[in-house]
Amino acid sequence: MSMRDLLRGLPVFARPLPTFDPDAAAPDPADLLAAWLHEAVAAGVSEPHAMTLATAGPDGMPDLRVLILKDLDAEGLYFATESISAKGAQLGVNPQAALGFYWREQGRQIRVRGPVQPAGPEVSAQDFLARPLGSRTASLLGRQSTVLHDPADLAAELLAAQARLEADPLLVAEHHTVYLLKPMSVEFWQADAERRHIRLRYRRTPEGWRTERLWP
């Protein structure tokens, strides 16, 4: 079978899907996002807090990767990474980004766009100290996205980082940074088996959040 036929034969949205009534949606997208997250967890969606972060550096070339959503409040969405990573460098010169969630069990997609800023050293330190030992050890390397010339270097550096953490359990990795994305627009997308997908976009205006339905 050709790749094209293989792909064409794969079903999409062929499962019971939840409903979404945009007319009953909360006026603030943070509330709807929180509600959808709770529903995703209750529905057993796998890793609903895994989201794609898209950034672009000075060359304008889009880049993306999957990250974990660390928190969500009235300010926006929080994620943690190393400021010296590729994404950290891109955000340093172009502090705006897009986030995407796809919950295939529910046929739900959420898109968020907005400016990004570091949440502050205290938030980053707290986040770091709350992480399991293995994650803290890995973050301590402070080399994310740089070239690994010899895989043996990784094992050696992990051992050294572990020893540093054992000697000083309150050590915080220098480059570990929690970032806050403040949404300017948020789109909620609910798949429909008949392809009448429901789209609701929130846009921040000086008067507050404005909602619009979008053609699928």
Ligand X SMILES: Cc1cc2nc3c(=O)[nH]c(=O)nc-3n(C[C@H](O)[C@H](O)[C@H](O)COP(=O)(O)O)c2cc1C
By CB under 6 A, residue 67 contacts ligand X: yes
Q: How far apart are CA 96 and CA 117, in angstroms?
A: 8
By CB under 6 A, residue 200 contacts ligand X: no
Closest by alpha carbon to 200, among 22, 19, 21, 76?
Answer: 22
- Measured in degrees and rounded to the nearest 5, phi and psi for residue 82 equal -100, 130
By CB under 6 A, residue 50 contacts ligand X: yes
Question: Cβ(166)–Cβ(191) under 8 Å?
Answer: no
By CB under 6 A, residue 156 contacts ligand X: no
19 contact partners, CB below 8 Å, separation of at least 6: 190
Q: Is 182 annotated as a binding residue?
A: no
By CB under 6 A, residue 80 contacts ligand X: yes
To the nearest whole angstrom, how small is the minimum distance from the Cβ of residue 80 to ligand X?
Answer: 6
Q: Is 87 annotated as a binding residue?
A: yes
Angle between helical axes of 133-140 and 121-129 (0-180°, round to 10): 130
Binding residue ranges for FMN: 65-70, 87, 109, 144-145, 189, 199
Binding residue ranges: 65-70, 87, 109, 144-145, 189, 199
Q: What does the binding site for ligand X look like in residue numbers (CB under 6 A)?
A: 47, 50, 63, 65-68, 79-81, 85-87, 144-145
